[in-house]
């Protein structure tokens, strides 16, 4: 996996966690948020320093994820910070879009790159949920992950076809 793919997977995971943490209808398993945020930061942060390319949206998503991680370790402080989830979601999504726009190529390649990052984040989020929850409670997340993979595969096939 390349640094750019790892970075994109980290941002994609931040997008899914930004939606999942504040808006999940059932209580998330204990320690899920802190482990998932730590993994997202582990994937996204190293590529920032190795490429020496610091974009505003990516950096704001990383800062929001760090603050959420710190607050998720303290259960009493995590409740007032739920607004940071949507901030992280918007910032990470804007970072994915900004990285896709910076890609030289046609529009189909840019869309395929953004969808790849979102699908990778979705797969990691669902895989982590599978560690904490029984599979019977994960029908909707698994279907979402499969739909993201199907959409991504279709977009990549279309991008390859338009390059020829």
Q: pLDDT tens for residues 110-162? A: 898 899 999 999 999 998 888 888 877 778 888 888 999 999 999 889 888 77
Map out the domains of the chain as residue ranges. Answer: 3-163
The string of pLDDT tens digits covering residues 24-44 is 666 777 788 889 999 999 988
Residue 104: its pLDDT value, please?
67
Question: Percent of the chain beyond pLDDT 70?
Answer: 87
Question: pLDDT per residue over 98-123, tens digit each?
Answer: 888 887 678 888 898 899 999 999 99
The DSSP-derived string for 33-91 is: HHHHHHHHHHHHHHHHHHHT---HHHHHHHHHHHHHHHHHTSHHHHTGGGGHHHHHHHH
């Amino acid at each position: 996996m390349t640094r750019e793919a790892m970075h994109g997977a980290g941002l994609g995971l931040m997008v899914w966690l930004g939606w999942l943490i504040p808006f999940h209808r059932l209580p998330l398993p204990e320690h899920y948020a802190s482990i998932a945020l730590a993994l997202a930061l582990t994937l996204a942060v190293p590529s920032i320093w190795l490429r020496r390319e610091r974009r505003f949206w990516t950096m704001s998503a990383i800062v929001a994820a760090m603050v959420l991680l710190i607050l998720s370790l303290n259960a009493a402080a995590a409740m007032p910070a739920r607004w940071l989830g949507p901030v992280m979601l918007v910032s990470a999504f804007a970072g994915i879009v900004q990285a896709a726009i910076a890609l030289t190529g046609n529009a189909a390649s840019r869309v395929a790159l953004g969808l790849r990052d979102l699908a990778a984040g979705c797969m990691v989020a669902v895989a982590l949920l599978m560690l904490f929850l029984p599979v019977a409670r994960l029908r909707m997340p698994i279907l979402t992950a499969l739909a993201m993979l199907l959409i991504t595969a279709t977009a990549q096939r279309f991008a390859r076809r338009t390059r020829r």
